[in-house]
Amino acid sequence: MIEVADYVKSRVDAVKKGGTAPASTNNNNMSVADELLKFKQLLDMGILSQEEFDEQKNKLLNK
């Protein structure tokens, strides 16, 4: 579980720094709702703070 959390954290950090996360085949087909769910799960796991979640949510909704 720690390895998964580290991987997810590194992807979140890359996105926050303005870079892009490594592409995956699923990522290209994700809807805004799927993306929001993913970020909510990260929030619930404690990987994202509420502020980080809100920032990502706003980015998705303003696309």
Residue 54: pLDDT band (50, 70, 90) is very high
Answer whether 53's CB lies under 8 Å from 42's CB: yes
Between 13 and 38, where is the model more confident? 38
pLDDT given at position 11: 75
Q: Please give the full DSSP string across 11-62, using - where no structure is assigned.
A: HHHHHHTT--PPP-TTGGG--HHHHHHHHHHHHHHTSS-HHHHHHHHHHHHT
Sequence spans of domains, the chain: 2-61
Query: Considering the entire predicted model, what is its pTM?
Result: 0.56
Distance between CA atoms of residues 19 and 2, nearest Å? 23
What average pLDDT does the segment 1-14 reach? 71
Tokens for 36?
């929001």
User: 63: which 2 tokens?
Assistant: 């696309």
| Residue carrying structure tokens 């890359």 | 14
Q: What is the pLDDT of residues 21-53, one digit of tens each?
A: 554 444 556 788 899 999 999 999 999 999 999
